[in-house]
Chains A and B, each alone.
Chain A
Amino acid sequence: MKKAAIAVAVVGVIIALYVGTHRHAGDHKALSSSAAAMAPALTMVDLSGNKIETASYRGKVVLINFWAAWCTPCTEEIPQFIAFQDKYRGQGFQILGISMDDQENALRQFYAKYQMNYPVVIGNQRIAQDYGGILGLPTSFLVGRDGRIQQKYAGVTDFARLEHDIAALLQAGK
């Protein structure tokens, strides 16, 4: 029995070492309530021609996703974002995509092909700076109902973690 336990432990360590050295998890930073800054107010026109004012999102939990159509890890996340938008819309959840694409045509093609169910605006340097600098994609921010940035996710998103955070903010009424 002892040998069996040792063998299982050895296998576990081997697998853990392998997984640990072959996976780049995204960076996930929770902000304490005192550090949580107000999300910058944006007024822009989205790809469908609708005026987007993020101030009107107050009272909702909002995910701001910086991405680009050429960025593979970004585009791989879009179907999951679409699913989250569908699942939590009724509870007051809203996603806003901010594209950092240089080429608008590729972005529009992607947007249409994936039938994205949330607004996407075209980003610029000012918006990136307002969010503290976007020095890599994908990068997302989760904003509470009070308009404060609660979480930052840099790199490939851990969706289990993100969904947990979304659900917690929706329930907290924060």
Chain B
Amino acid sequence: MKGIENRLHGRGGVAAALTVLVVTCLALIAAAQSRGNAIPSSELPPGSPELIQPEELVKTLASRGAKPLVLYVGPRFLYAQAHIPGAEFIGAASDPQSLDRLRKRAAALPKNSRIVLYCGCCPWEHCPNIRPAFKELQKMGFKNVKALYMANSFGADWAEKGYPVEKGEAR
């Protein structure tokens, strides 16, 4: 009898330990998610409404309707090899000179202009250019700005998907 009780007690202990483990895992994940949700929108976390997906931009640019102004805020070497047709070269927005160029380009635009910023130099969370450019336009009062979300790079998330590109040095 005592042996059965011990076995039951042992099983109960294992079940309780596993329950604690599951609850802890769920709590950790929930905490991580809530941290993610707490990221300011200007940090452009994946899934935020400030982002536009590549396929959506492709459709928009191919449509007959009004097109957004596409500004490239990444390094020169990437633009020269391949860029979105019609995209204007601003330069890497992590560089103050390029940020100044962005300010000057945007200064003449109405604040309700549809603008899409993109870079694609490196994996999204590490891109040093897209966030400074986005914040700058926000600071200037632009309300209709989207950042093109490319999880990995312009190569993986645009060119290799067969979306349109053109080559050429920055004008």
Contact = CB atoms under 8 A, between A and B. Distances in A.
Interface of A: 3-4, 7-8, 10-11, 14-15, 18, 22, 24, 26-27, 68, 70-74, 100, 102-103, 123-125, 128-129, 133-138, 154-156
8 contacts: A7-B15, A24-B124, A72-B128, A125-B77, A133-B81, A136-B152, A155-B122, A156-B123
Contact of B77 (A74, A103, A134): A134
B125 interface: yes
Interface of B: 14-15, 18-19, 21-22, 25-26, 29, 32, 75-78, 80-82, 91-92, 94-95, 120-126, 128, 151-156, 158-160
A68 B75 contact: yes
A135 B120 contact: yes
Given A7-B22, A135-B153, A154-B156, A125 B80 contact: yes
A135 B159 CA distance: 8
The 9 closest A-B pairs by CB, nearest first: A136-B153, A135-B155, A7-B18, A136-B155, A72-B126, A100-B77, A73-B126, A137-B122, A135-B154
Contacts of A100: 75, 77
Nearest to A124: B77
